Amino acid sequence: MRRSRGLTTVRPHGMIPPWIEAMPQTDFDNAPTKSGVVPEGPEIRRAADKIGKALVGKVVEGGTWPFPSLQQADSLILGQEVLSVTSRAKAMLIRFSSGYTMYSHNQLYGRWTVHLKATDPRSNRSLRAEFLTDKHAVRLWSATDIVLLPTPEENGHPFLARLGPDVLDESITKDDLLTHLKSKGVWRKKGATLMLDQRSFAGLGNYLRSEILHMAGVHPDDRPCDLDEDTLERWASCIKSVTVQAYEHSGITVDLDTAKSSKARGEPRRMWRHAVFCRNDRPCLTCGNLVVRVRYGGRRLDYCPTCQPARRDS
Q: In the complex, what is the shortest distance from the CB of residue 307 to Zn ion, in angstroms, rounded to a whole number?
A: 3
Q: In the complex, what is the shortest distance from the CB of residue 218 to Zn ion, in angstroms, rounded to a whole number?
A: 13
CA distances from 203 to 93, 113, 146, 163, 197 (A): 14, 21, 19, 9, 9
Q: State which residue, 178 or 284, has the beta carbon closest to Zn ion.
A: 284
Q: In the complex, what is the shortest distance from the CB of residue 51 to Zn ion, in angstroms, rounded to a whole number?
A: 39
* Residues binding Zn ion (CB under 5 A): 284, 286-287, 304, 306-307
Q: In the complex, what is the shortest distance from the CB of residue 163 to Zn ion, in angstroms, rounded to a whole number?
A: 32
What DSSP line would sit under the chain, residue for residue?
---STT---S-PPPPPPTTSPPPPSSEEE-S--TT-PPP-HHHHHHHHHHHHHHHBT-B--B----SGGGTTHHHHTTTPBEEEEEEETTEEEEEETTSEEEEEE-TTT-EEEEEETTS-----SPEEEEEE-SSEEEEEES--EEEEEEGGGGGGSHHHHT---BTT-TT--HHHHHHHHTSTTTTTS-HHHHTT-TTTSBT--HHHHHHHHHHHT--TT--GGGS-HHHHHHHHHHHHHHHHHHHHTTT--S-HHHHHHHHHTT--HHHHT-SSTT-TTSB-TTT-SBPEEEEETTEEEEE-TTTS------
Q: In the complex, what is the shortest distance from the CB of residue 288 to Zn ion, in angstroms, rounded to a whole number?
A: 7
Active-site residue list: 39-40, 90, 299
Q: State which residue, 138 or 307, has the beta carbon closest to Zn ion.
A: 307
The rounded distance, in Å, linking the Cα atoms of 232 and 255 is: 22
Q: In the complex, what is the shortest distance from the CB of residue 138 to Zn ion, in angstroms, rounded to a whole number?
A: 44
Q: State which residue, 181 or 304, has the beta carbon closest to Zn ion.
A: 304
